[in-house]
Amino acid sequence: MSENSSTRGSGERAELSHPCEEWSAPITSCVTVGDFGMLVPGTQPTPKGNVMQLKMIDWTLRTGASPEDGTDTRVSVEVWRDNTMVENLWVEPGNTTRLDSREVQTYSWEFPDAGIEFDSIGGQLKVVLRAWGDDLWKALDIDSKVTFDVLIFTPSVHWVRRTANFTFAGVDVLSTDSAEGRVTLQLNY
């Protein structure tokens, strides 16, 4: 992990969008999964061998209490399966309002068509938040909800919708100015 990166393990709703530019990338979490109850990060939320389709991810972001803790810097989201980036998005696309201090906003991304195939969410999914400017953005605790379909083999084969809730606790400052913070924050699901 470079000096410009930070890793954390395992309100209202707004949409994320694809960025206009291309770029490349790379805390501990508490996980509860629908009917499965409490899981330890890195464990399988479904029986091993089931096919999962990632359908949607929500991120609830909070800004700090200081006046400079808003989100003036553009922040992107990179969604990774293992070591392959499967999606890159802007947190606050186009001319949407940036967050001021003490604000909470939920952003969501719905994957098109069939979704993204996973064997398990825990250990295979990671998200990287990346700062694209030198105005600092203080990332407080981040809540994330992952919605996925699981292929169930019973007397018949069918898809079942599930959700997993993650909390990434901690405080990180994102900025391209190394005197203020780090460029990336990696969330390991």
Q: Check: CB of residue 142 under 8 Å from CB of residue 187.
A: yes
Q: Check: CB of residue 58 under 8 Å from CB of residue 106.
A: yes
Give per-residue pLDDT as tens, 16-66: 433 323 222 222 233 333 333 233 333 334 444 568 999 999 989 887 788
Q: Check: CB of residue 177 under 8 Å from CB of residue 136.
A: yes
The 3-state DSSP class for residue 69 equals: coil
Give per-residue pLDDT as tens, 122-135: 888 999 988 888 88
Strand 84-90 to 75-81 pairing: antiparallel
User: What domains can you pick out in the chain, each with its CATH number?
Assistant: 5-188 (2.60.60.20)
SS (H, E, C) 153-181: ECCCEEEEEEEEEEEECCCEEECCCCCCC
Question: What's 36's DSSP letter?
Answer: G
What is the secondary structure of 21-42 as a DSSP string? S-------EEEEEGGGEEE-TT
User: Taking the model in full, what pTM does it have?
Assistant: 0.71
For 170: left if phi > 0, alpha if psi spans -120 to 50, otherwise beta; the answer is left
What does the alpha-carbon distance between residue 22 and residue 157 come to, in Å, rounded to a whole number? 39
Predicted pLDDT at 55: 94
Q: Check: CB of residue 168 under 8 Å from CB of residue 27.
A: yes
Lowest mean pLDDT among 69-78, 94-103, 131-140, 145-154: 94-103
Q: How many C-beta atoms lie closer than 10 Å to residue 114's C-beta?
A: 10
